[in-house]
Amino acid sequence: MATLTAASGLLCLLLAFSADVAARDATQADKGSMVEAADAPWHWRRGKLRLVPGWFNEGGGTHFAHLDGVVETEFNEAWRGELAARLDVWRDNAAIGSGEQKADIDALFLQWRGGERHRATLGYQIVRWGKTDEISPVDRVAREDWSRPFEDLADRRRALPMLRYEHFGKDYNLDLLWRPWFKEAEMPRLDSAWSPIDQRRGRLLGFAPDPAMAFLVSNGRFVDDPDGGAGWGARLSTNGRGYDWALSAQRWRRSAPYYAVDLPSLTFHGRHPFSLVLGGEFAASLGPLTTRAEFAYIADEPVTINNATLDYTTIPAYEAVAGLDWWPGDKDTLVVMQLAWRQLDKGGLNILDHSHSLALTGSVRSEWGHGNWQSRLRYSIGLDRRDNYFNPSITWTGWEAQQLSLGGHWFSGKDSTPGGYYKDNDFIYLEWRHDL
């Protein structure tokens, strides 16, 4: 509650700054003077307001509102600060309905710049590593946001307190991170339509339906165990002529909980195991094509053993994504296709988790009408088992600083897959966005 109150106060302060700065900027524009604007301590940089009503296929509505903003200050050529906050309000009236309001910090940091070669940042910030869309094996630095799991990848990340140092060399860049304490992922409420726990049906996301498990989930108690502990990451990247690559190593705690059951107490504990992650990235431009690839070795991936006590353990895992971006014709259309693979090294263990997966993911985006109209299709199609997700949308951008979109989310698949788990949550939405 204290965190929510503080974040709400921070958001109000941020918006107050923005209103004051905007008012002064307008006055200065009328006078044709830019001197006072440069002396203002805080400068409004960007923000947006989104209102998204929707309707579930099975009946009931869903309403989502999002407000965020960023202000920054330049102390001198070497020092700057940034303050960003967000407010989310939603209600889902599906088979399981809930409502919630949350405020959070998107950025609160102080940054030092040593010319063009050095940069250090201390405070709450969002760092994203990786080159692929939607599914990124090496993007494990950021804190995940599961409250709206169908959003774009960039909107499914939350800020973490970190110390970051970046070195920009002539032929390479070095990125070093240190996280002083752990902060778990932003998860939906237990009664949310998007929760990975469904006590009504006795289901856990990622597990096949089972009568015994259904009884445990429906009658069990769920608690999160966000143990502390610092984490670190290092990434070396380079830029070449038409290609670039990166290597990374991370010792990080998984932000999303993995629920392990304790049978005597009938309690599911949300575990966040530490793991060493070694990753590689590559991207190259070949005319109208851009190829992208990522690979990661995860030393400790949590799983549940299929035995009488449903023991929890960790095993190695391998993940890879490879694909291409293609601009056909006059570049009004972009086609993204990526193949995502995952394999658990289970050895001789009999586990309840899926040991492998293979899926085709990507998007198709096109513009027409002098850039006033945009259409887009995001998709994920399971190749080893039926697991489908489609998100078509059409957007009007003809208004200055505003967008209006009509779209939908459709899920289907076997019960053990994400598409099968969310198959009753198909819905159509209308989104209005205003860039502040």
- What are the pLDDT digits (tens) for 293-346? 999 999 999 999 999 999 999 999 999 999 999 988 777 899 999 999 999 999
Nearest to 146, CA basis, from 107, 83, 190, 202: 190
Cα–Cα–Cα angle for 357, 308, 418, rounded to 5 degrees: 25
At 97 the pLDDT is: 58
**Model-level pTM?**
0.86
Nearest to 342, CA basis, from 353, 354, 357, 322: 357
Three-state SS at 422: coil
The pLDDT tens digits of the residues spanning 38-77 come to 455 888 989 999 999 999 988 788 889 999 999 999 998 9
Q: Is 403 a member of any domain?
A: no
Q: Is 286 a member of any domain?
A: yes
At 386 the pLDDT is: 94
On whether the CB atoms of residues 55 and 46 are closer than 8 A, the answer is no
Question: What average pLDDT score do residues 182-196 get?
Answer: 88
The pLDDT tens digits of the residues spanning 118-174 come to 999 999 999 999 988 888 999 988 899 998 888 888 888 999 999 999 999 988 999
At 33 the pLDDT is: 38
Q: By residue range, what is the domain housing residue 335?
A: 72-81+95-391+409-421
Q: Is 333 a member of any domain?
A: yes
The pLDDT tens digits of the residues spanning 276-290 come to 999 999 999 888 899
Sign of CA dihedral 286, 129, 109, 232: negative
The lowest-confidence range among 52-56, 120-124, 190-194, 196-200 is 190-194
Tokens of 204: 């856990």
Supply the mean pLDDT for the chain: 87
Q: Is 150 a member of any domain?
A: yes
Give how many domains the chain has, as a whole number: 1
On whether the CB atoms of residues 171 and 191 are closer than 8 A, the answer is no
d(CA 104, CA 81): 18
CATH number, domain at 303? 2.40.160
The pLDDT tens digits of the residues spanning 1-20 come to 434 444 444 444 444 444 44
At 7 the pLDDT is: 43
* Confidence check: pLDDT of 36 > 60: no
Q: What are the residues whose beta carbons fall under 8 Å from the beta carbon of 368, sequence distance 6 or more?
A: 332
On whether the CB atoms of residues 153 and 136 are closer than 8 A, the answer is yes
At 5 the pLDDT is: 45
Q: Is 431 a member of any domain?
A: no
Three-state SS at 19: helix
At 330 the pLDDT is: 73
At 6 the pLDDT is: 40
For a pLDDT cut of 90, what percent of the chain falls above it? 64
